[in-house]
Amino acid sequence: MTRSQPSRATIYAMLRWLFVSWISNAIALGVAALLLDGVDVNGSAGTLFVAALVFGVLNTMLKPILKLVTLPFAVLTLGLVWFFVSMLMLWLTDLLVSGFDINGFGTYIWATIIVWAVNLVVDNVFYRQSRGRRRVATA
């Protein structure tokens, strides 16, 4: 049995998604840093982009595993535990990236809400754009 190689279009779509995800996380973390006194990137765009990259990797690799492990608790808490999983991703990013600091539990709560809201808006914008392109391509 031979495995088929992914097409260039598939690879391009995956790379585009990764890039958009990285930029989306950078925007979300940047907005959180602008709005919250307790979120600090030391005034460095480089720190912001590294934090966005680490945050994206954690969300891609670790978060699905944690969501699966916490599924029984999510059922009991009606999904509230997954908010704390998202907050954990921010905390781990804070630990791993020097120069990216979040101070205080309340700041973690608000930063998680802001990152979620900004990513929701960015994802909807890019999702609608890609759906529009698919419709044009199939029409």
The model's pLDDT over 60-119, given as tens digits with 9 standing for 90+, comes to 899 999 999 999 999 999 999 999 999 999 999 999 999 999 999 999 999 999 999 998
Name the token pair of 84: 């704390």
Q: Measure the CA–CA gap between 125 and 28, rounded to whole angstroms.
A: 14
CB 81 within 8 A of CB 73: yes
Q: Measure the CA–CA gap between 43 and 30, rounded to whole angstroms.
A: 10
Q: Measure the CA–CA gap between 23 and 17, rounded to whole angstroms.
A: 10
| Ranges assigned E (strand) in 34-111 | 39-40, 101-102
The model's pLDDT over 7-58, given as tens digits with 9 standing for 90+, comes to 888 888 888 888 888 999 999 999 999 999 999 999 899 999 999 999 999 9
CB 48 within 8 A of CB 30: yes
Q: pLDDT band at 125, cuts 50/70/90?
A: confident
pTM, full prediction: 0.81
Q: Measure the CA–CA gap between 139 and 135, rounded to whole angstroms.
A: 6
Q: Measure the CA–CA gap between 137 and 97, rounded to whole angstroms.
A: 41
